[in-house]
Amino acid sequence: MADVFVSYAREDEAQARKLAEALRAQGYRAWRDDELPAHRTYAEVIEERLNSAEAVVALWSEHAARSQWVRAEADTARNRGTLIQASLDGTIPPLPFNQIQCADLRGSEDPSKSEGWRKLLASVGTLVGSEGVAASAKPRRRAVSVCVLPFENMSGDAEQEYFSDGISEDITTDLSKISALEVIARNTAFQFKGHATDISDIAKKLGVSHVLEGSVRKAGGRVRVTAQLIDGASGGHVWAERYDRDLTDIFAIQDDISKAIVEALRVKLLPEEKKALEQRGTISADAYNLYLMARNYWVNGNYGDISREERVIRICRRAVEIDPDYGKAWALIAIAQANLCYSFGQEKDDGLAEAKRALALDPTIAEAHCVIARHLFENGQVEQADKEIETALELDPDSWEVNREAARILYRQRRLEEAAVHFHKAVTVIETDFHAWGMLASAYEALGNHEGLKHAAENMVVQSERVIAEDPSNAAALGMGAGGLAILGQVERAKEWIERALLIDPDNSNMRYNFACVVALHLNDLEGAMDLLEPVMEHITISLYRNVLIDPDLDCLRSSPRFQKMVAATAKRLGVDPPDPSNPAAS
């Protein structure tokens, strides 16, 4: 694997090539994306190289600051503590990267001849090895790094999958709090779920020193958890244990596993890290179990079906009845409540009170800030909403919910380059999120990123097929999959999926809306698109009406008198001013 990953905008390729050559001349193994193998997907290789690199050099420029790829790569490196920044043309790195030192490489077409080169090289030396000494010839300190594989559900009930997945995620989160450990992201680890893969192969592929695997059996009031920490190089067991306890001891089991790993790997646990490991948000195993169940429905439920939101709220309400001080459960209620209000128009309460209660109980819950941001944005306070999102991202830059909400608000402002960064981050956290893949495809389409569009469309289909295999009635998955098929040119198959989905769930407005975008943009049937959109517009909420006004997927309809008439009628029904024809997004 490479010592140094070089991140750059395509327009800066010549300077990036010279910088990589200069690093190699110093003995470092530098990698940039001109070395992509022909047999593997772009995103897969990029993620693997980023995770294995000991230093990531982000070359900022006017072009790089606008590139969602450079931003996403820099964000990953910032979170891993491997980011080194340099400016090729004096451009200041965008937020939040402007808070980190940046070497100045201006003054020469060859970055290694600029004044800032020595500063950059010193930073590389700090992260990788001493300056000027061939890294390949030195004894290298092997970092302590761990991949937590998804624990196997041994309960004999597929419905209990959420519990074993939740345990795996929580252990990953716990270990990530320990500064002496490098922990592979949840999504990267979950790609191995359900696959019989050699542990040493996984360790080699991910560049980690150790792998944790295990299983969970939950039955009645009892739980059995087994865990094994395996040396990635030898395949031998470093530590293994089995816990047979009451379900009420589930938090103690997680604590024991984390502490046993710390002890087995002989890493130092700081006092504040020990305290962080013991913070669970609730002392009730029953409330915890309900929260995991509700979040599973939230992540994997039928997007656009109101019963998803209602089910999540109902389950979380039961959790907070058991433990009124469970902040995470209050935050999830708030998120679902906000969606009921703004996407379905079913509730006047938009979750603001629940979000504030969650933050009163635990000020570090980033997702609660998302609800406040949505409240502000929907009420026209865009600047304040952006600040709330910044706070949420500072608290938890890897949160799926936070990145999705950041992307949604940016998309609604047609800040598509920035929205794409956060949609991309969301699918790196939960790759199975077919809806986020669809929104990422929409952003890429508008930006003219054809390579990114194709990759997103492929995942729209793959992830939708996965969901449909488990739940053939999931019309949202059918809808998003149809969009991916249309983008990929599989027109007849896309039409079949659309027809099937409309038979299964004809009243799913979100799905019909997405179909209208697909039919207009990729099947070139503008009248057919408006046939799909018309019944949606008759019942659409003011929030989704505003989305119609800015959605780039519908730009091809804006000059149509029929579309303009639908928009004007909807504005009248909602009691708002009709859009300005020269700038509909400003209405």
Pick from 245, 233, 241, 282: nearest CA to 258: 241
Q: CB neighbours of 288 closer than 8 A, spacing ≥ 6?
A: 250, 251, 280, 282, 319
Element (H or E) spanning 487, and its range?
helix 475-487
Tokens read off for 509: 């407005």
Same domain, 454 and 512: yes
Please indicate, yes or no, if residue 376 is contained in any of the structural domains. yes
Cβ proximity of 257 and 171 under 8 Å: yes
Residues 472 and 367 in one domain: yes
CA 576 to chain centroid, in Å, comes to 34
Once rounded to an integer, what is the mean pLDDT over residues 476-490? 90
CATH code of 199's domain: 3.40.50.10070
Amino acid at 135: A
C-alpha–C-alpha distance, residues 514 and 520, integer Å: 10
**pLDDT, tens digit (0-9, with 9 covering 90-100), for 211-270:** 999 999 988 788 999 999 999 888 888 999 999 998 888 888 888 888 888 888 887 767
Structural domain ending residue among the three candidates 241, 259, 280: 280
- So what's the pLDDT on residue 138? 36
DSSP structure class, residue 236: -
Alpha carbons 353 and 523: distance in angstroms, whole number: 44
Is 239 in the same domain as 315? Answer: no
Indicate the pLDDT class of residue 68, thresholds 50, 70 and 90: confident
The string of pLDDT tens digits covering residues 28-66 is 888 877 655 544 555 667 777 787 788 899 999 988 888
Residues 535-575 pLDDT 10s: 989 888 888 898 899 899 899 999 999 999 999 999 999 88
Domain, as residue range, for 265: 145-280
Asked whether the predicted pLDDT for residue 67 surpasses 90, the reply is no
Q: Are residues 223 and 352 in the same domain?
A: no
In a domain, 385, yes or no: yes
Contacts 24+ apart (CB under 8 A), 447-454: 447/68, 447/416, 447/417, 447/420, 449/68, 449/420, 451/42, 452/68, 452/420, 453/487, 454/487, 454/488
* Number of compact structural domains in the chain: 3
What pLDDT was estimated at residue 389? 93
Give the per-residue SS3 of 139-179. Answer: CCCCCCEEEECCCEECCCCHHHHHHHHHHHHHHHHHHHCCC
Tokens, residue 62: 């006017």
Which amino acid, one-letter code, is at 492? E
Q: What is the pLDDT of residue 539?
A: 86
What is residue 580's predicted lDDT score, i.e. its pLDDT?
Answer: 67
pLDDT score recorded for residue 322 = 96
User: Is the confidence at residue 321, as pLDDT, over 50?
Assistant: yes
Domain boundary among the residues 137, 155, 174 is at 137
Which three-class secondary structure state does DSSP give residue 226? strand
Q: Phi/psi of residue 216, each to 5°?
A: -135, 130
Average pLDDT over residues 417-430: 86
Same domain as 202, residue 111: no
Provide the residue type at 232 as one letter. Answer: G
pLDDT of the residue at 473: 79
Assign residue 39 the CATH number of its domain.
Answer: 3.40.50.10140
Q: Specify whether 276 is located in the same domain as 325.
A: no
Greater model confidence, 457 or 160: 457
User: Is 547 within the bounds of a domain?
Assistant: yes
pLDDT band at 81 (very low <50, low <70, confident <90, very high): confident
Cα–Cα dist 22/34, whole Å: 16
Q: Would you call 31 helix, strand, or coil by DSSP?
A: strand
Q: What is the pLDDT of residue 190?
A: 82
pLDDT for the residue numbered 226: 93
Model confidence pLDDT, tens digit, residues 170-181: 888 888 878 777
389-410 in b/e form (b: 16+ CB < 10 A) is: beebbebbbbbbbbbbbbbbbb
* Residues 286-315, mean pLDDT to the nearest whole number: 88
pLDDT tens digits for range 1-13? 457 899 998 888 8
Q: What is the DSSP string of 183-220?
A: E--HHHHHTTTT----HHHHHHHHT-SEEEEEEEEEET
| Per-residue pLDDT tens over the stretch 113-163 | 777 888 888 788 777 764 433 333 333 333 588 989 999 999 877 778 888
Distance between CA atoms of residues 17 and 460, nearest Å: 34
Listing DSSP states for 47-76 in one string gives HHHHHH-SEEEEEE-TTGGG-HHHHHHHHH
- Kindly state whether residue 285 falls inside one of the protein's structural domains: no
The pLDDT, as a whole number, for residue 198 is 84
Sheet holding 102-104, edge to edge: 30-31, 4-7, 55-60, 83-87, 102-104
Q: What is the pLDDT of residue 130?
A: 47
Query: For residues 407 and 345, which has the higher predicted lDDT (pLDDT)?
Result: 407
Domain match, 12 and 41 both: yes
Q: Which amino acid is at 449?
A: N
Q: At what angle do helices 509-521 and 434-447 cross, to 10 degrees?
A: 30
CA neighbor of 213 nearest in space, from 204, 222, 250, 197: 197
* pLDDT of 388 strictly over 90: yes
Same domain, 342 and 380: yes
Task: Give bridge partners of residue 102 from the DSSP assignment.
Answer: 85
Give the C-alpha separation, 230 to 245, whole Å: 24
Q: What is the pLDDT of residue 383?
A: 94
Question: What's the whole-number mean pLDDT along residues 291-315?
Answer: 88
Query: Residue 372 corresponds to which amino acid?
Result: I
CA-CA distances (angstroms) from residue 23 to 32, 61, 476? 12, 20, 48
Digit-coded pLDDT (tens) for 435-449:
899 999 999 998 888
